Structure 1
Amino acid sequence: MEGAVLHGIRPILYTDRLEESVQFYRDVLGFELNEYNADWGWASLGCGMVEIMLSRPVGNKPFDGSMFTGSLYITCEAVEVIWMELKDQLEVVYSLEEFPWGMREFAVYDLNGYVIQFGEMVN
C-alpha cells in the first residue's frame, strides 16, 4: 500500500430496524442525519468527526442480528458528561472506569446489540 493515503473509516452497521436505528443514533446519541434513502435501505449519520452508516442487510445471506465481533470505539472529550447522560438509558457493558493505558472509558449497547465504547485520554 505504499503511496496510498487512507482518509478515515465509516462503519456500515446492518440492521433490520433501520428507522428505529436512525432515531436511536439521532435522538439518544445526538448524531445528525446526513442522508437517508428508504429505497436503498441505507442511512448516514454523523456527530463531530464520527460517521456511521446504517443499512438493511444486503445480498441473500441470512441476517440473524448484529454480527460485528468487535466494538465501535469513539474517542471524545467530557466522557463523564456522556456517561451521566447514557448510563440510565442504555444497557451498560461496563461502567465508567480509568484504565492503566491512559484512557477513561465506558461501553454500552445500541438497540441492535452493537457495542459502543466512549473513551477520553487521561492527563
Structure 2
Amino acid sequence: MKISGVIGQLRTTDLEGSIRFYTTRVGMELAFRHQDFYAGIRAGNHVFHLKHVDELDPSIAYTRQGEHFHLYFETDDAFALAESLKDRGVNLVQDVCETPWGTREFVVEDDQGHTLYFGEAL
C-alpha cells in the first residue's frame, strides 16, 4: 500500500469568508466546492479542506496558547511571501525570523483565527 498524500481540514463558521481569505488575501486557488458546506483550497501542489460548522473551532484558542499551528506551508522565499501578504492586508502575528532549527518562518492567523506558519528551509 502506498500513501499518495495527506489532506488537512479546517473548520469555519463562514465558508465564504474563509474562501475569500485564502484566495484573495493569501493568493491560493479554490480547488473545488461542494454545496454550501465544503470546499478545497489549492496551495501549490497540495490541497486542504474547509468545512462549514456552526461554532468556532475549539482548537483555535489551544493552538494559539501553546504556540502550535494548524497548517504549515513551505515556501522558497519567506521574506517575499510575507511582504506580499502584508500588501494584501494580512496581519502577521509573528514577523519573519530565523529559527534555531534552520528555517526562516512567519506566522499569520486566518479569518477564523487558525494559526498558519509559513517556512523556508535555510
Would you call these one fold, judging by a TM-score over 0.5?
yes
* Counterpart position of 1:84: 83
After superposition, residues 85-100 of structure 1 pair within 5 angstroms as: 85-87=84-86, 89-100=89-100
Give how far 1:5 is off.
2.8
Give how far 1:66 is off.
5.2
- Structure with the bigger percentage of helix: 2
Query: What per-residue deviation string (whole Å, max 9, x for no partner) do you get for residues 31-77 of structure 1?
Result: 111111224x10011021231110112xxxx7234525341111111
Q: What secondary structure sits across from 2:97 in the alignment?
A: strand
Give me the whole-angstrom Cα distance separating, in 2, the residues matched to 1:9 and 1:96. 27
Q: Is the 8 A contact 1:44 1:51 kept in 2?
A: yes
* Counterpart position of 2:21: 24
Give me the whole-angstrom Cα distance separating, in 2, the residues matched to 1:29 and 1:66. 23
**Structure 1, gaps ≥5 residues long:** none
| RMSD, aligned α-carbons | 1.8
Q: What secondary structure sits across from 2:113 in the alignment?
A: coil
Give how far 1:87 is off.
3.3
The one-letter amino acid of 1:54's match is L
The one-letter amino acid of 1:93's match is V
The one-letter amino acid of 1:81's match is A
Q: Is the 8 A contact 1:31 1:46 kept in 2?
A: yes
**Structure 2, gaps ≥5 residues long:** none
Q: Which moved more, 1:11-20 or 1:78-87?
A: 78-87
Q: Is the 8 A contact 1:66 1:112 kept in 2?
A: no
Give how far 1:81 is off.
0.7
The one-letter amino acid of 1:28's match is R
Query: What per-residue deviation string (whole Å, max 9, x for no partner) do you get for residues 10-31 of structure 1?
Result: 1111111001111111111111
The one-letter amino acid of 2:34's match is N
* Counterpart position of 1:46: 42
Q: CA 1:66–1:32 in 2, change beyond 3 Å: closer, same or farther?
A: farther
Q: Is the 8 A contact 2:8 2:49 kept in 1?
A: yes
